[in-house]
Chains A and B, each alone.
Chain A
């Protein structure tokens, strides 16, 4: 059955008709064209579909679109600054060459944004735990960790 939901996506209030059987991943990709949200395992394991829901990184593949009703969703399309520049996390990924095939990148960037927004600083060990819900099958983890160290690592300069 089609249901109408209301949510804020990347800062814009949206009214969206969704099939109650569809995942939030499908709603974002197919109805709103936000293809930074990747379809990987579709079972909550790989983290490619990660989005921020009310500021918290969650897997959108195992969440029904109808259950996003009333919530605020952020995807990579919604994180650039007003001046059009990349988000500091994105810039750090570029600077550290933390991207190989790019499939895991949007999810990892959003987890990075969540960490930046926490205002905390993280040790290398903590960062490893924080990104443990993202699989990079190019196994490019070292550069990803280097990028995150740059923005939220102990000793990094506050960016938020």
Chain B
């Protein structure tokens, strides 16, 4: 930045472009600095912005009144603690979390994942610290492509994972694999029965302890380890793929990908939770969703 006298000019000097470094094209003109220059480059907030705000308020009010005249807010029967509707659903903006709840431990789905997500959102500016891209939609051409790529990838992965858990019946499978041989009921020993036996031995070795051990292992593997692995694996895979597809991708673009992934997951899970989960939280196609049983 060159400072001439008291005036501040931000005209970038010619920058030597080295191979492998990214350099913005210098701005076409220097930014206005003196009051006279600013006068030319800016408009007065009254009326130019105030009018937009006023009209915006009017348009929203009209639309809200129309909407409220045409559609009534729901009011069902008086709350009855003895009568649980099937399914019981949270407000729509939490249905993504309720959807997660079907696939993992409640502590992971309802508390850890949202807390970590909000925490990661909050630290974005302290991780992506460059000043490039300030005030520019999509950061760069590649940023836009990265966001599009991530959208398609995330929809595919999320849908596949929901389908895997729903149709793959992971819980039933692990139940089978972890079961120990019981001649009384004719149950065959599963390929992972050694884990159940080892943990059952630690818990006392009785039949009850073995059954308890099997329950703990299923919960740990199906509701903790597998979901945690997927939650970490697919973002990492995404970054790895992006680095392969878009050579020279920078940190800001990777963060665009991760943020886009978060937004798309939020949207997909909300949609599935709202429009595709019927009684018993079973999966239905959106056009054949049965009504709630009271």
Whether both chains belong to one complex is answered with: no
